[in-house]
């Protein structure tokens, strides 16, 4: 009996340890592969370098990923600008206004949206969105705008469901107090419910940003992938190359320093996403702290 318990506990511990070990191994591997080029080029020159030219025909190759870091943030922030107002409005509707039948239809639709493989979204973007942007807004079509729209569609369900949870977890007493003072429902939503749900909503937004930055396939298919800054810098119709695309596009033929530079791109990407996840987690936790 006693030994049985011991063995089960040990097995459970090993299972838990496996997850941690895998993460640790991945980080170690990333560092081992990526560090050589980071040391050689220098972290600052690597992150802030403007020129990505890994296979130089004449002269030294250069590994600067600044345009790609900018591109990753550009596309992710662009997606948030589209998805946050839309998602928040949808969450408010779901949590506060929708009758139960509408709520269940919407909930199912949103779950379906999560289930769409990113490559399909990318494909739709490629054949519908890119030509649409080319014909109606100009430019090449492959652009920051196209990437942002596709990412926004992917971010929507996440933003909606986490915000919906946050809004629904606002104590009913707050709502009643506000209504009892003669506030309208809309006023109550704006002044009491949304502020009380704020930390949950912030967490949702940051988490969505982290996922958007890490998203690869759908973005790759519509952003055009040129490793330079848009000119002028605010031109959202210009093509760009986010960090994720950079790795996918070149890894099949990269060798030596070039391969190492791709791993180094991975390290930067990993750090950015990890930091965003931590911030998102903190935001959620601080909410718990202020709760009665």
Partner 1 sequence: MSEIEIESRNLDLWYGSAQALKEITMAMPEKKVTAIIGPSGCGKSTFIRCINRMNDLVKDCRITGELLFEGTNIYGNSVDAVELRKKIGMVFQKPNPFPMSIYDNVAYGPRVHGLRNREELDRIVEESLKASALWNEVGDILDRSAIDLSGGQQQRLCIARTLAVKPKVILFDEPCSALDPISTAKIEDLINTLKHDYTIVIVTHNMQQAARVSDHTAFFLLGELVEFGKTKQIFELPEKKSTEDYITGRFG
Q: How many CB atoms lie within 10 A of CB 176?
A: 11
Backbone angles phi, psi at 220, to 5 degrees: -50, -40
**Using rule CB under 8 A, residue 98 touches partner 1:** no
243, 215 contact by CB (below 8 A)? no
Give the one residue of 21, 104, 169, 184 binding partner 1; rule: CB under 8 A: 184
**Using rule CB under 8 A, residue 127 touches partner 1:** no
Q: Which residue, 187 or 281, is less far from partner 1 as judged by CB?
A: 187
CA distance 270 to 272: 6
Backbone angles phi, psi at 166, to 5 degrees: -60, -45
**Using rule CB under 8 A, residue 114 touches partner 1:** no
**Using rule CB under 8 A, residue 199 touches partner 1:** no
Q: Which region, judged by CB under 8 A, interacts with partner 1, from 84-92, 104-112, 186-194, 206-214?
A: 186-194
- Does the N-terminal peptide bond of residue 232 adopt cis geometry, omega within 30 degrees of 0? yes
**Using rule CB under 8 A, residue 191 touches partner 1:** yes
To partner 1, the closest distance from the beta carbon of 162 in angstroms equals 20
Give the one residue of 95, 167, 192, 205 binding partner 1; rule: CB under 8 A: 192
Q: Considering only residues 150-179, where is the footprint of partner 1 by CB under 8 A? A: 171, 173-174, 176-179
Backbone angles phi, psi at 197, to 5 degrees: -95, 5
Question: In the chain, what is the straight-line distance between the N-terminal and C-terminal CA atoms, in Å?
Answer: 43
Closest CA to 160 of 219, 117, 201: 201
Q: Which residue, 59 or 182, is less far from partner 1 as judged by CB?
A: 182
Q: Which residue, 18 or 184, is less far from partner 1 as judged by CB?
A: 184
């Amino acid at each position: 009996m006693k030994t049985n318990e011991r063995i089960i506990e040990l097995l459970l511990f090993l299972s838990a340890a496996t997850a941690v070990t895998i993460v640790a191994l991945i980080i170690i591997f990333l560092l081992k592969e990526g560090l050589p080029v980071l040391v050689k080029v220098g972290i600052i020159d690597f992150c802030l370098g403007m020129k990505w030219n890994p296979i130089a025909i004449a002269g030294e190759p250069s590994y600067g990923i600044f345009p790609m870091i900018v591109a990753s943030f550009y596309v992710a922030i662009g997606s948030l600008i589209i998805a946050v107002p839309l998602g928040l409005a949808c969450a408010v509707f779901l949590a506060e206004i929708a009758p139960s039948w509408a709520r269940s239809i919407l909930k199912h639709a949103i779950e379906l949206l999560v289930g769409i493989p990113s490559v399909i979204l990318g494909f739709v973007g490629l054949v519908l969105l890119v030509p649409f942007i080319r014909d109606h807004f100009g430019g090449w079509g492959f652009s920051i705008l196209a990437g942002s729209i596709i990412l926004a569609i992917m971010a929507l369900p996440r933003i909606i469901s986490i915000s919906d949870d946050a809004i629904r977890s606002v104590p009913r007493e707050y709502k009643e107090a506000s209504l009892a003072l003669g506030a309208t429902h809309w006023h109550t939503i704006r002044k009491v419910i949304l502020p009380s749900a704020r930390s949950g909503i912030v967490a949702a937004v940051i988490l969505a940003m982290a996922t958007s930055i890490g998203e690869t396939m759908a973005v790759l298919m519509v952003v055009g992938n040129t490793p330079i800054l848009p000119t002028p810098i605010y031109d959202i119709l210009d093509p760009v190359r986010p960090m994720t695309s950079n790795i996918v596009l070149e890894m099949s033929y990269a060798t030596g320093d070039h391969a190492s530079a791709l791993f180094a791109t991975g390290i930067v990407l990993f750090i950015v996403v990890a930091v965003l996840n931590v911030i998102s987690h903190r935001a959620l936790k601080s909410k718990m702290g202020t709760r009665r």
